[in-house]
């Protein structure tokens, strides 16, 4: 480092009037007070491709002219045009390295959070994993209730790997159900025969009739093997918000079925929701003129549940449905 003695300056040159750093940004100028030393220390160069803020003569007006230092520390100004140009050049060079192109308007722009500016960005490509037919199959499986996109892709991959043992039987089962699918004209169940298997089973007690909202409720109760009677599917529940009226459900068919006779008890197996309970009360009013016993599924404490975890509504239902201990 070369050190030379600075020429003496007048004592009237206060701190606020000292000369600022010059426009030469290759080094750092250090000034001291009266009779001090003026040192010039070369600044360590950084790699050009990492230095986005090559300020050059754009600092504080540039041009190599000196600016008067203010009475307080002052930050060096940055020309936004130079910063944007530097960012654009870097993005374009990096995009050319990966074989991209900036022609057209299809690439959009990204925001530079440090300067609040926008610059062109390279597009993101979605490479296809398989053919269009397999993609359609995966999307169809993903649209089913339950599996998501990843589960659907795993299912498709399993079917392709086990084509003879998994894919072929699945295709045959789907074709058979698609050809024979029908709705039971008696209870509203979905089956491949009319009447359905439940209605055609002679072992079931025809004097017991259980009313459910959906086919899934029928399958759940029948799977438990606890109800020996038959079923009637309404196809939904009454809802003022959704615009579901009694005419939209299979209520008239239910009334005709009960009026035909041969039924001693009607079980209202509605869901424990506001719409479900509304539907149950409506059905009870419609069926009270028939000589049948109307019952409802018990609501309250679940098997294995704790009392301290129940809400007030469930506790109220459990207290109302209490029974004597045998």
| Angle at CA of residue 45, ends 39 and 48, nearest 5° | 150
Domain formed by 183-320, architecture: 3-Layer(aba) Sandwich (3.40)
In angstroms, the CA 305 to CA 82 distance is 69
pLDDT at residue 246, as a whole number: 94
Give ranges for CATH 3.40.1360.10 in the chain.
183-320
pLDDT at residue 206, as a whole number: 92
Within 10 angstroms of residue 119's Cβ, the number of other Cβ atoms is 19
DSSP state, 231?
E
The phi, psi pair for 91, rounded to 5°, reads: -65, -45
Q: Two tokens at 131? A: 């053919």
Decide: 283 and 211 in contact? Cβ < 8 Å: yes
The per-residue b/e assignment along 197-207, b for 16 or more CB within 10 angstroms, e otherwise, is ebbeeeebeee
Q: Two tokens at 23? A: 């426009």
Pick the CATH number of 132-180 from 1.10.8, 3.10.150, 1.20.930, 1.20.58: 1.10.8
* Among 197, 176, 175, 179, residue whose Cα is nearest residue 187: 197
Decide: 294 and 288 in contact? Cβ < 8 Å: yes
pLDDT digits (tens, 9 = 90+) for 143-159: 998 888 999 999 999 99
What pTM was estimated for this model as a whole?
0.57
Q: pLDDT below 50 — which residues of the chain?
A: 11-18, 20-46, 48-68, 78, 100-120, 122
Tokens 């959009």, residue located: 108
pLDDT at residue 309, as a whole number: 83
pLDDT at residue 237, as a whole number: 94
Element of type H or E holding 320: helix 312-320
pLDDT at residue 218, as a whole number: 94
Side-chain half-sphere of 13: how many Cα atoms within 13 Å?
12
pLDDT digits (tens, 9 = 90+) for 270-311: 998 999 999 999 999 999 999 999 999 888 877 788 888 888
pLDDT at residue 14, as a whole number: 47
Q: Is 302 exposed, middle or buried (0-12, 13-18, 19+ CB in 10 A)?
A: exposed
pLDDT at residue 319, as a whole number: 84
* Among 49, 54, 40, 53, residue whose Cα is nearest residue 6: 40
Give ranges for CATH 1.10.8 in the chain.
132-180
């Amino acid at each position: 480092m070369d050190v030379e003695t600075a020429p003496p300056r007048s004592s009237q040159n206060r701190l606020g009037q000292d000369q600022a750093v010059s426009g030469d940004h290759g080094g750092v100028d250090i000034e001291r007070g009266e009779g001090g030393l003026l040192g010039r220390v070369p600044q360590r160069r950084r790699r050009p491709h990492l230095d986005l803020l090559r300020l050059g003569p754009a600092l504080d007006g540039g041009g190599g002219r000196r600016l008067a230092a203010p009475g307080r520390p002052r930050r060096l100004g940055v020309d936004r045009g130079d910063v944007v140009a530097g960012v654009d050049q870097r993005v374009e060079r990096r995009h050319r390295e990966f074989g991209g192109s900036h022609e057209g308007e299809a690439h959009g722009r990204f925001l530079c959070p440090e300067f609040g500016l926008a610059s062109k960005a390279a597009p993101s490509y979605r490479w296809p994993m398989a053919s269009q037919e397999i993609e359609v199959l995966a999307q169809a499986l993903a649209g089913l209730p339950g599996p998501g996109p990843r589960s659907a892709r795993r299912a498709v991959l399993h079917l392709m790997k086990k084509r003879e043992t998994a894919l072929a039987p699945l295709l045959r089962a789907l074709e058979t159900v698609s050809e024979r699918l029908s709705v039971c004209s008696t209870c509203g169940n979905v089956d491949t025969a009319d009447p359905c298997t439940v209605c055609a089973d002679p072992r079931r007690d025809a004097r017991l009739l259980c009313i459910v909202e959906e086919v899934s409720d029928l399958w759940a109760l029948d799977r438990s093997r606890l109800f020996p009677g038959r079923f009637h599917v309404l196809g939904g529940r009454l809802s003022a918000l959704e615009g579901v009226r009694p005419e939209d459900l299979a209520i008239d068919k239910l009334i005709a079925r009960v009026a035909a006779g041969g039924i001693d008890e009607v079980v209202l197996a509605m869901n424990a929701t506001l719409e479900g309970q509304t539907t149950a009360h409506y059905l009870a009013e419609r069926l009270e003129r028939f000589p049948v016993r109307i019952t409802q599924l018990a609501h309250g404490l679940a098997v294995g549940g704790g009392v301290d975890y129940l809400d007030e509504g469930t506790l109220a239902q459990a207290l109302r449905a209490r029974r004597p201990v045998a």
